[in-house]
Structure 1
């Protein structure tokens, strides 16, 4: 089964349980009479998600490339299910566990072990625990008389078992010289749980708001088409004024409010999480149908030699960054060139990106190199995990919003990065998020950033930047955008049409204009008639452009 499953707004990651036998088969050879039962193995488990293996041992919570610990390949792999929680939420959760319940020094082979950790993480991610026969094994052994006599020996084995868990990356630093009271530990645990719940709810709330906004937009477009049709059939001007009666208003408002109670076919109440999954499944089917009918996005794969970009970046930043920041370059190299997955990017990676972007004492050439590399990373299918990590500080999107303040050399790879994010459904939907944040005392969102980069690039004096801008507008036109976005992009296209254009660029932009006339109602056709130039001006350039002009003129005559 695939590691990831895409839906409209995020990525669902497969969660797997890796099951190891600590005895390497020796336990199964022991006589049944010794313990009064047959043993298939002494189980060690780990949770694998986001292409990383997470496990708990004497050193605390650690992670590694799946199957790369000293236990080597697992005896068995079980697929637990998919999690819709973003990687950033999971990372906060795992670090919270590593400093509280599963901190270094809390490990006990029988009472508090790797399997207890796997069970808790599994419940958090997918709502299902690990198999019962694994969890029950320690207690079953202790209930036998021989098991009781073996406790001292097993405890000694526990101390030496640390070697099994040393081939991994520690997630949290050991807390030294600190002894919290049970009351303080309980309070910290409650605070941490409340914080994680708040993060998860905020993520879900953003997704739901964006879904509801999209439904409202579709409803408005449907109502507008219905009004236009009624107006043409009746010849009446009453519907063209845009007024609605109280029933129509109630129907429109109903798209914004969920019913107070929900039940399935059996009359049983459906949980909110189940309603969200049902809604996501329904919309995923709609997206798949749209994808089959939609043109592929325009992206830029012919990027400079990635190895050369990394070498230049290291040289430009050598002795200017600390060791931790330089380590981020190695992590990015693993992600982009070694295909290690986005898990290779450490907790401080976005801090490194922010340092390179905003530290003006650093050479601009370093920013160009980093942006070129990020444009390559944008084509990877799990780049959405990196983007979700940026939803807190908006390091990347704030820099992109200020595109007009950067030199052209930086604008080119920045626009290319935005264009390439349309290569995957999840990252392209991320570019259209409407949730706002404050940047320089101004409320902006992902869609506002994407729109500004597109318009600025298209209307620049640099032909290469214009090409990237037209690609972003084309990619936006292939998706469902709000009317105000379609109007803003149309105004940029009409301004661009006043210059001399090659057939390829003209075709791409004319196709975007035709799309905007279809999705925006009367606003875009009215703009074309008021501002110009008339599409007919370009008739004769090529047959495919003539066909688009005919399509646009049909909307202009309505």
Structure 2
């Protein structure tokens, strides 16, 4: 073994000779003339062992391996940091999604409870306890709504593609030379995720509707506003769009714009009416359209249900045939909502200006517009929607039946148009008589 290391072999031999010369035999008088062997300790020399590095120059392979190990450790640390960042981002999105769900549930119940309920007078019997199903969370109301939708399905316009509408909005923005700020570019990217890539409403930020409000503002061009409304019509067909709509309770950007329907160009009127009509595709978004919470606009109190009514009446009585087609569909969707007849017996006992009386006012306003439409001798499809809506409105409010009898034209004059129209006319005449 030492033959492989001549330097070490020579050093070991020299130290061995020194140790031999130092060793001697000494006699100590006090040790009873015993001869003691005294040896000077010599520091042993380590024998080379495999795998142990000595003062030698590092080989290139060793340096390369060390470099690769350090690079792998750095990549692993970066990957772990990225994984942690993604996990935090997903957790934030999930918290935001859950917050929106809780907010939507709370606001929905608050709006359902907005109807004024008179306090029981002295000596009056206490109200009866709710039914077990009602105490369980209102499952009967949901099942009734689903049965109603199966009987009277909403009329929506589903021949619309979200990806194409998003591309049209991008082209309109580029053609108008609209410069988007950083947050607005982020909102546009969120719209791309929602419409094109099919992500949920959690992908839309809290300021998304503020971005939509700017696109619908007066500083935008008509092409940009129409493209924005068509994107909203495509979004309305999604079942989670109601989570986005509740953001509008802060700025009311959508409803403030819709309130100006009579001052909008015809193209915007049509796109707006179609967007509102498609919101009836899902129960939660259709309920949002009928909320009665009020806010002031130009000194006038308005609400979601009043704005929706204004759009429906304006579109139904419009001169453009396509706008009238969408308007009668929106009118039909509103009339078939059981929300309009909720608490009808209680509303009859309330004073004229009670907030829940708005349902009676809306029913009468819709009926007036439908009677005007009947005076124009509409086509069969529009006639069916009109008499079907009148039949439902007469069920919702007693004032509608009185209005039909007083104002006219009499629905019976349209018998024989089609069997389905005759069926709805019979329902109207039962209420009128």
User: TM (normalized to structure 2)?
Assistant: 0.67
User: Which residue, out of 285, 296, 314, partners 2:153?
Assistant: 296
Q: Secondary structure at the match of 1:391?
A: helix
Judged with a 3 Å threshold, the aligned counterparts in structure 2 of structure 1 residues 250 and 288 are, in CA distance, closer, same or farther, namely farther
Matched residue, 1:390: 248
RMSD of aligned residue pairs (Cα, Å) = 3.6
Which of 204, 207, 216 matches 1:348?
207
Match of 2:180 among 321, 325, 338: 321
The 1:313/1:328 distance shift into structure 2, 3 A limit, reads farther
Following superposition, the deviation at residue 431 of structure 1 comes to 1.0
Helix, strand or coil at the partner of 2:246: helix
| 2:133 counterpart of 1:213 | no
User: How far 1:472 moved relative to its partner?
Assistant: 1.1
Shift in CA distance, 408/254, structure 1 to aligned 2, threshold 3 Å = farther
Counterparts of 1:550 and 1:500 in 2: how far apart (Å)? 19
Kindly provide the CA deviation profile for residues 105-143 of structure 1, in whole angstroms up to 9, marking residues without a partner as x. xxxxxxxxxxxxxxxxxxxxxxxxxxxxxxxxxxxxxxx
Q: In structure 2, how many angstroms separate the alpha carbons of the residues matched to 1:463 and 1:537?
A: 23
Q: Is the 8 A contact 2:111 2:291 kept in 1?
A: no
Query: Quick one: distance in 1 between partners of 2:124 and 2:265?
Result: 50
Going from structure 1 to structure 2, the CA distance change for 1:361 and 1:483 (only over 3 Å counts) comes to: closer
How does 1:285-434 map onto structure 2 within 5 Å?
A: 285-292=143-150, 294-303=151-160, 305-306=164-165, 308-358=167-217, 360-434=218-292
Q: Does 1:493 align with 2:351?
A: no
1:324, distance to aligned residue in structure 2 (A): 2.7
Q: Cα deviations across residues 364-416 of structure 1 (Å, max 9, x unaligned)? A: 11000010111010001110111012221111111112211211111111110
Determine which of 543, 547, 552 is the counterpart of 2:419: 543
Q: Is the 8 A contact 2:165 2:227 kept in 1?
A: no
Residues 480-518 of structure 1 show CA distances to partners (whole Å, capped at 9, x for unaligned) of 212221111000101111113111111111111111112
1:442 matched to 2:282? The reply is no
Structure 2: which 5+ residue stretches go unaligned? 1-75, 91-98, 341-358
Q: Match for residue 524 of structure 1?
A: 400
Q: Distance in 2 between matches of 1:298 and 1:287?
A: 16
Say which one has the larger Rg: 2
Matched, 1:555 2:424: no
What is the alpha-carbon distance in structure 1 between the residues aligned to residue 103 and residue 271 of structure 2?
Answer: 35
CA–CA distance in structure 1, aligned partners of residues 194 and 135 of structure 2: 30
The 3-state SS of whatever aligns with 1:343 is: helix
Higher helix share: 2
What is aligned with 1:534? 410
For 1:330 and 1:205, the matched residues in 2 are separated by 28
SS of structure 2 residue aligned to 1:438: strand
Contact 1:325 1:352 in 2 (8 A): yes
Rounded Cα–Cα distance in structure 1 between residues aligned with 2:86 and 2:165: 30
Aligned length, in residue pairs? 329
CA positional deviation for 1:168: 6.9
Higher strand share: 1
- The 5-angstrom pairing of residues 126-141 of structure 1 reads none
| Residue-by-residue CA offset, 1:256-281 (whole Å, 9 max, x unaligned) | xxx8xx9x99xxxxxxxxx9973433
Q: Write the distance in 2 (CA, Å) between the matches of 1:449 and 1:337.
A: 30
Q: 1:201 to 1:316 in 2, by over 3 A?
A: closer
Distance 1:371 1:202 in 2: 23
TM alignment of 1:215-294, pairs within 5 A: 250=124, 254=127, 278-292=136-150, 294=151
